[in-house]
Amino acid sequence: MTRDRLTAGTALIYTMVGICGVAAFLYPFWLPGRALPSEAHSTTAPFVAALMATLVMLAVTVEIRQGTMSGSTVAVLAVLASSAGMLRLLDLPGGGSGIFFLVVLGGAAFGARFGILLGLSAMAVSAVLTGGIGPWLPFQMLGLGLMGALAGWVGSLTRRLPARGEVIVLAALGWVSGFLYGAVLNLWFWPFAIGEGPLSWNPGLGLTETIEHYWSFYVATSLAWDAAGALMNAVLILVTGIPVMRTLRRFSSRLLPAVHIEAPTELSLDAPVG
């Protein structure tokens, strides 16, 4: 996938993915009342999942038609998404998962747009393999797509670094992404959690109070788990990053669409006309 060719069509599609993702996470905060936890996203989750699937297929179609993706690139995307999905079946120490490190490395090697598609697709594949299909799935897909996009952006900045230096930067990104993914994902259910204390959200809270309550909730319920997962992300990237990135970079350079320009043939003055 080319990194420097972003047309209006592709920009519109990926902008729609971002807008829909933000709206899906934040709309509960604008509801007049709070639904029960069992009703969290019960009607919106299927719609969000269908919308994400449609946008992914549309993005791939537009990229292919515009020449920014090829059939080989789509095949690599499918292989990486399937591999990342299967890696989620492995139980790693500290609650870590191989799905995250492969999305980070894949996004860094192929670019932000590829990273978004890889994150969305990999989480969908893993949900099918693990039986983790539920109202949380589209939000997991969006969270992992965000990780892939960030990795693609960072990868565009680290391409000229020595291999070890790039892997260290990507390991730091994997560590940060572990916390970011957990903090973002908690938002899918936190507005629906029942409670009146400093860990809960209630309609009418201002922005500052909402942030304070959420921070207290995150520290109390998710920070330790996310810290263990973030550490495992960093370790996996440090251990496997150099050979994996070398392989992915090689594929990335080979899969860039090439335009062949033939030199014009000379017109002979002695050739008969008509």
Give the integer Cα–Cα distance in Å for 168 and 239. Answer: 10
Q: Where residue 115 sits, what CATH number does that domain have?
A: 1.10.1760.20
Q: How many CB atoms lie within 10 A of CB 23?
A: 12
Give the integer Cα–Cα distance in Å for 33 and 45. Answer: 18
Which residue's entry shows tokens 């990194």?
3
Contact 44/24 with Cβ under 8 angstroms? yes
267: in domain: no
Residue 15: φ, ψ to 5°? -65, -40
Non-local (6+) Cβ contacts of 149 within 8 A are 107, 112, 113, 115, 116, 119
**Residue 137, domain extent:** 8-36+44-254
Confidence of residue 270 (pLDDT cuts 50, 70, 90): low
Evaluate if residue 2 carries a pLDDT over 90. no
159: in domain: yes
Structure tokens at 133: 């299909």
pLDDT tens-place string over residues 102-127:
999 999 999 999 999 999 999 999 99
Give the mean model confidence (pLDDT) for residues 202-230.
Answer: 90
3-state secondary structure 75-90: HHHHHHHHHHHHHCCC
Give the integer Cα–Cα distance in Å for 55 and 165. Answer: 35
CA angle (96 as vertex; 94, 99 as ends), nearest 5: 175
pLDDT tens-place string over residues 224-242:
999 999 999 999 999 999 9
**pTM listed for this prediction:** 0.85
145: in domain: yes
64: in domain: yes
Confidence of residue 259 (pLDDT cuts 50, 70, 90): very low
Structure tokens at 149: 């996009």
Q: How many CB atoms lie within 10 A of CB 253?
A: 9
Number of domains observed in the structure of the chain:
1
Give the integer Cα–Cα distance in Å for 34 and 201. Answer: 9
Q: What is the DSSP letter of 30?
A: G
Give the mean model confidence (pLDDT) for residues 205-234.
Answer: 91
2: in domain: no
